[in-house]
Amino acid sequence: MKADPDQIHKQKVIAEVEQRSLTSVMNHTRWNELKEAIYLELRFPPAFQNKYVLEAEPYPLVFEQDVFYLGDWESLSTAWYNIEWVRVKPRLLEHTGKYTEPTLLNIEAEWVNLLQRLRIPYLKKEQDYWIYGYATATEFEQLGY
């Protein structure tokens, strides 16, 4: 009988989590509740950078500035168990014209209200919000609701 690739991948994730002494923060249900609330309640799905447990680098690699694109939260739905963290920018740059500066749309207040209502633990670093699937002991101690 051939081994199930999904099960092999999950076992690798579990082994890495244990080897790095990471603490589980989110589960499949909580990730789905967050995703659904984002699409139903926010003016736009915020852009994010994500880091998977088994990957060395986050995607996208560069995520320091505000962006012109929306977050594709559906793209994460098949790999929730593998997410180490998601870094969220609850802001969106909107083009207003060829010769004018872009407008900054900010949904930070709505974003924080959503996280708090769903009791999603998060960490704010500068202007971004970090949601951990798995956290180190230090990160876990810093998480708030």
| Domain residue limits, the chain | 5-142
Query: What would the pLDDT profile of 24-69 be if each residue is shown by its tens digit?
Result: 999 989 999 999 999 999 999 999 999 999 999 999 999 999 999 9
pLDDT at residue 1, rounded to an integer: 61
pLDDT in tens, 106-122: 999 999 999 999 999 99
Tokens representing 106? 């900010």
Residue 77 has pLDDT above 80, yes or no: no
> What's the pLDDT at 112?
97
What is the rounded CA–CA span in Å between residue 83 and residue 131?
10
Share in percent of the chain as helix, strand, coil (round to 5): 35, 25, 40
The angle formed by the CA atoms of residues 20, 23 and 26, to the nearest 5 degrees, is 130
Average pLDDT over residues 98-106: 90
More confident residue, 3 or 87: 87
Instruction: Give the chain's mean pLDDT.
Output: 92
pLDDT of amino acid 5: 79
Place 76 in a pLDDT band, splitting at 50, 70 and 90: confident
The pTM is what? Answer: 0.90
